Amino acid sequence: MMTYQTLLYYCYSPIAEAEQFADDHLKFCKSIGLVGRIIVADEGLNGTVSGTKEACEAYMAAIKADDRFAKTDFKIDDVEAPSFIKMHCRYKSEIVHSGLRDPNIIDPNKQTGKHLEPAEFQKMIDQDDVVILDVRSNYEHNLGRFKNAVTLDIENFREFPEKINELAQYKDKKVLTYCTGGIKCEKASALLLHHGFSDVYQLHGGIIKYGKEAGGEDFEGKCYVFDNRIAVDVNTVNPKVVSTCYNCGKTTPKMINCANPECNEHVTQCDECGDKLQGCCSVACTTHPRKRKYDGTGYYVKVPQPVNVAKK
């Protein structure tokens, strides 16, 4: 029985005294029994939290009762157990690290691509004048992506601005951007518009919402998520596994974090190689003195760090 929920959400909305807000928000989340990870910045909120259905309902009600965040769109998953171990709420310079901090150039509250609901996105993806653009990192789109999507060779979203010139060939197309929950597309689509792309769209609610409302049709593989589930199924219409084992090349839908904590690489790995390499991405990593015990999941609780330390 699914007695818990996991909420994925973001909201671009200015927060005065955001560092203090992060401290207060952490206390509130703990008081209602939530676990998860929330990033607070001057520009807004970005979070994934998990807890009982009652706690999640209380959290959503509190967020929507705040005029600054009333427009927040929550993606809700029913889960068997909480998707995190602890509750973290940290202040950072951006709610998604892009390096695009100049509000005179990129401000999602002023200009972004046209938001497409899942049904609208679904109708457009096969049109001849459309390009589907995945704005996520390599390890994410290697695990799963939309059929015929253009993917970028980036290790982190902050590298996206460097790829704009490579995308210039699509300026005369309708560019449909997508990511996990929609947050990266807010800035990616705005940057494309800034660089002269005239017909730019974004999948509202991202892959997660598309899976819930459109059955995930034509999304191939699994979707990487930033909690202890690691990956979730999306497509219930025409599912297909597209990822292969990093070590042997065998088709596999499974993703792990390397058991060597100093590597911690995200890789797709079959169970056979996982057992053989003890959850490591390579033979070299198996000899690391701090190698973590592999339990078959490939997920490890990070070494505890101080929370709410301002990063400027």
Two tokens, residue 157:
């979203």
Helix (H) or strand (E) holding 210: helix 206-214
What per-residue string of b and e applies to 275-294 under the rule 16 or more CB within 10 Å gives b? Answer: eebebbbeeebbeeeebbeb
Q: How far apart are CA 173 and CA 131, in angstroms?
A: 6
Which one, of 27, 31, 50, lies nearest residue 40 by Cα?
A: 27
Please say whether the beta carbons of 189 and 199 come within 8 A.
no
Contact 227, 245 (CB under 8 A): no
Distance of CA 65 to the CA centre of its chain: 25
Order of strands, sheet of 4-12, starting from the edge strand that comes earlier in the sequence = 75-79, 4-12, 44-52, 35-41, 87-91
Q: Is 221 helix (H, G, I), strand (E, B) or coil?
A: strand
Q: Tell me whether residue 179 is one of the annotated catalytic residues.
A: yes
How do beta strands 219-221 and 75-79 pair? unpaired
Local structure of residue 150 (DSSP, 8 states): B
Q: Which of 29, 56, 89, 179 is catalytic?
A: 179
- For the annotated catalytic residues, the residue numbers are 179
